């Protein structure tokens, strides 16, 4: 009976999964106990919405969630191998054709469990039942009394829910570990050192501080004076610049950071130096080089959703799923979303003319426009089957045409094919013209579509000349990945370019029987664009 239940459960995971792959998952599930399932759930918290994870009762439920989020399939089982490795079920790795050594080899490149989640899991492994009781007692005024806690993993999840613990703030965790068992602090300190090393490794790779040589008119004129500290440990030579506001007019000074070796020393002098100053300049530089996003209004987000077309263009089934998801996510991010459906090329131009009115954007931080349609190289189709170039659409919002958006970020996300039609299975269609018609223009790269001035970002679902994929029920690969990554990474303080890099990685992992897809962002942004973390949880 139990085996029958499992087979029935797995049968719903997708028709494209082979019986052999299902059998592997069944064998792995049979060898995992209750504590193993709890550990898997904890390690997947950053990958799967918590609400969905909490409903999982077995390893099979977790596998199904991972597959639904495109993290696990018969062609790519590494994430599951990583999870089994993390929970020390090394004997099960052979079921996935992995060994412990092979997983260790691939982890730096393919690992998906964050260092923060690894640290918390390692910490939980070292918390005894007596320690757990003491910690719960110390936190009694901060935790809900209605919810019993039976494990260290549950405690850590509850602390995160209560805002007592985040990736960037482990002070409360340090405090209770100091009181209960100072030995536990080494796990946290190791995580902090590695976190600083990763941040400094990025700095070490910079050849100059070009990002700082900019006039920051949007946030007010800023001129600075600076001092620097230099440390030569023998392994890494880094110059730290400390910038201080100065009322005198002037440009930002030039400077550079270099590293003879990317491996950072662990000497006492270096660690003391890092503990003292590293977090201040990094956070200060981030603030200095980010767009202002604390105005009276976040801004407007236009969503043009072309589903039905005149003539020989196919209906874009599944596009309404994308439009709804964009509306939920950008509303959550504080934007006022306006949706327009089935617009002709002339109506799209008229909309751009209406929305370039500066009065609408005077108090806004940014402007976003999402277009979901069929397309060709450097252009998208209106409902009437006429092409309008992406460059024309974006040109309505240049500083000259829309002064209120000058020096503010303007984001355009285009979900449309940029090339020829591809023959796909019935459940996957392409956003390309059918039948194939000659392009009305030469191929245009995303960078050529952007107006020749600063503060624009163009996110394309695919590179020039290629098709993009759309599920007739679940929406497009690109828009769904964009919405998922915004919900996951905005609360972590990631900037938009880092988020789009994650989107690229997500979409590139997917595959249909006819091919794959690679999104392509292009931009003239001068600073980081970091959306403020919303007070409400991400929309499910």
Question: Which CATH number goes with the domain that contains 128?
Answer: 1.10.533.10
Catalytic, out of 204, 301, 417, 483: 417
d(CA 246, CA 225): 6
Q: Check whether residue 474 and residue 492 sit in a common domain.
A: yes
Question: Does residue 243 lie within any of the structural domains?
Answer: no
Asked whether residue 365 falls in the same domain as residue 472, the answer is yes
Token pair in block for residue 35: 């504590």
Residues 308 and 416 in one domain: yes
Would 268 be classed as within a structural domain?
no
Which residues, other chains included, contact 2 with Cβ-Cβ below 8 Å and sequence gap of 6+? none
Last residue of a domain, one of 161, 194, 227: 194
pLDDT of residue 540: 62
Q: What are the two backbone dihedrals, phi and then psi, of residue 306, each rounded to the nearest 5 degrees?
A: -90, 115
Do residue 375 and residue 484 come from a single domain? yes
Query: What pLDDT, on a 0 to 100 scale, did the predictor assign at position 426?
Result: 35
453-462 exposure pattern, b = at least 16 Cβ within 10 A, e = fewer = ebbbbbbbbb
Please say which residue of 79, 113, 147 terminates a domain: 113
Residue 253, φ and ψ in degrees, nearest 5: -75, 155
Tell me the per-residue pLDDT of 131-187, one tens digit each, with 9 for 90 and over: 999 999 999 888 887 777 789 999 999 999 888 999 888 999 999 998 888 888 888
Distance CA 287, CA 199 (A): 16
Q: Is residue 481 part of a domain?
A: yes
Residue 85 domain flag: yes
Question: What's the full length of the chain, in residues?
Answer: 540
- Give a yes or no: residue 220 inside a domain: no
pLDDT at position 198, please? 72
Two structure tokens written together for 32:
């995992």
244 is a domain residue: no
Report residue 210 as tokens: 């070009």
In what order do the strands lie in the sheet containing 520-523? 336-341, 297-305, 364-372, 410-415, 456-460, 520-523
Q: Is residue 382 part of a domain?
A: yes
The pTM of the whole model exceeds 0.75: no
> In terms of domains, do 408 and 480 share one?
yes
Is position 418 within any domain? yes
Same-domain pairing of 461 and 489: yes
Assign residue 464 the CATH number of its domain: 3.40.50.1460
Q: Is the peptide bond before 58 cis (omega within 30 degrees of 0)?
A: no
More reliable by pLDDT, 493 or 1? 493
Choice between 470 and 368, residue whose per-residue pLDDT is larger: 368
Q: Are residues 341 and 383 in the same domain?
A: yes
Final residue before a domain boundary, out of 150, 176, 194: 194
Q: What is the pLDDT of residues 217-237, one digit of tens each?
A: 344 333 333 344 333 333 344
| 476 in the same domain as 386 | yes
Strands 456-460 and 410-415: parallel
Question: Over the range 224-253, which residues count as b (16 or more CB within 10 Å of their CB) and which as e?
Answer: beeeeeeeebeebebebbebeeeeeeeebe
Quick one: 383 and 477 in the same domain?
yes
Distance between CA atoms of residues 393 and 410, nearest Å: 12
Residue 316 sits in the same domain as residue 180: no
Number of other residues whose CB lies within 10 A of the CB of residue 518: 14
390 & 487 share domain: yes
* 525: its two tokens: 């942004």
417 is catalytic: yes
Work out the percent of the chain whose per-residue pLDDT is above 90.
Answer: 46
130 and 25, same domain (yes or no): no
Instruction: Name the catalytic one among 177, 361, 374, 402.
Output: 374
Nearest Cα to 179, choosing from 138, 142, 140, 123?
138
- Determine the structural domain holding residue 164 and report its residue range: 118-194
Q: Is the pLDDT of residue 401 over 60?
A: yes
141's CB contacts (< 8 A; 6+ apart) are: none
Taking residue 414's Cβ as centre, other Cβ atoms within 10 Å add up to 29
**225 three-state secondary structure:** strand
Output the DSSP codes for 177-202. Answer: HHHH-GGGHHHHHHHHHHHHHHHHHH
What's the total number of domains in the chain? 3
Task: Specify the pairing of strand 297-305 against strand 364-372.
Answer: parallel
- Pairing mode of beta strands 336-341, 297-305: parallel
């Amino acid at each position: 009976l139990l085996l029958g239940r499992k087979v029935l459960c797995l049968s719903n995971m997708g028709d494209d999964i082979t019986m052999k792959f299902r059998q592997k998952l069944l064998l792995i599930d049979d060898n995992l106990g209750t504590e193993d399932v709890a550990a898997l759930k904890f390690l997947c918290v950053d990958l799967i919405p918590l609400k969905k994870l909490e409903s999982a009762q077995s390893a099979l439920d977790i596998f199904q969630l991972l597959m639904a989020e495109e993290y696990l399939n018969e062609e790519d089982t590494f994430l599951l191998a990583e999870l089994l490795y993390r929970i020390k079920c090394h004997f099960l790795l052979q079921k996935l054709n992995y060994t412990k050594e092979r997983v260790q080899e691939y982890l730096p490149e393919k690992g998906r469990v964050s260092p923060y989640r690894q640290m918390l899991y390692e910490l939980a492994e070292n918390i005894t039942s007596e320690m757990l009781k003491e910690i719960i007692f110390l936190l009694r005024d901060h935790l809900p009394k209605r919810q019993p806690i039976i494990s260290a993993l549950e405690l850590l999840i509850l602390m995160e829910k209560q805002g007592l613990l985040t990736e960037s703030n482990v002070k409360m965790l340090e405090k209770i570990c100091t009181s209960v068992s100072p030995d536990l602090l080494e796990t946290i300190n190791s995580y902090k050192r590695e976190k600083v090393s990763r941040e400094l490794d990025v700095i070490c790779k910079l050849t100059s501080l070009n990002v700082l040589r900019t006039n920051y008119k949007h946030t007010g004129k800023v001129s600075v004076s600076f001092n620097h500290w230099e440390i030569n440990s023998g392994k890494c030579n880094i110059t730290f610049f400390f910038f201080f506001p100065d009322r005198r007019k002037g440009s930002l000074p030039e400077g550079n950071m270099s590293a003879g070796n990317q491996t950072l020393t662990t000497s006492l002098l270096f660690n003391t130096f890092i503990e003292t100053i590293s977090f201040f300049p990094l956070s200060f530089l981030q603030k200095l080089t980010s767009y202002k996003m604390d105005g009276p209004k976040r801004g407007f987000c236009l969503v043009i959703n072309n589903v039905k077309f005149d003539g020989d263009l196919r209906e874009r089934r599944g596009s309404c799923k994308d439009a709804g998801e964009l509306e939920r996510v950008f509303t959550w991010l504080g934007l006022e979303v306006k949706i327009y459906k089935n617009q002709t090329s002339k109506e799209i131009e008229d909309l751009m003319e209406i929305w370039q009115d500066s009065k609408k954007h005077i108090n806004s931080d940014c402007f976003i426009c999402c277009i979901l349609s069929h397309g060709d190289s450097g252009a998208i189709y209106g409902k009437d089957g006429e092409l309008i170039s992406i460059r024309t659409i974006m040109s309505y919002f240049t500083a000259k045409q829309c002064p209120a958006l000058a020096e503010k970020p303007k984001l355009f996300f285009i979900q449309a094919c940029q090339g020829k039609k591809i023959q796909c299975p019935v459940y996957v269609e392409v956003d390309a013209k059918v039948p194939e018609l000659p392009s009305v223009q030469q191929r245009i790269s995303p960078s050529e579509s952007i107006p020749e001035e600063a503060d624009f970002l163009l996110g394309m679902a695919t590179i020039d000349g290629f098709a993009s994929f759309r599920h007739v029920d679940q929406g497009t690969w690109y828009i769904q990945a964009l919405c998922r990554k915004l919900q996951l990474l905005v609360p972590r303080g990631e900037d938009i370019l880092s988020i789009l890099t994650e989107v690229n990685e997500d979409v590139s992992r997917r595959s249909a029987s006819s091919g794959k897809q690679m999104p392509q962002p292009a931009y003239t942004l001068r600073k980081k664009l970091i959306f403020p973390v919303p007070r409400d949880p991400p929309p499910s």
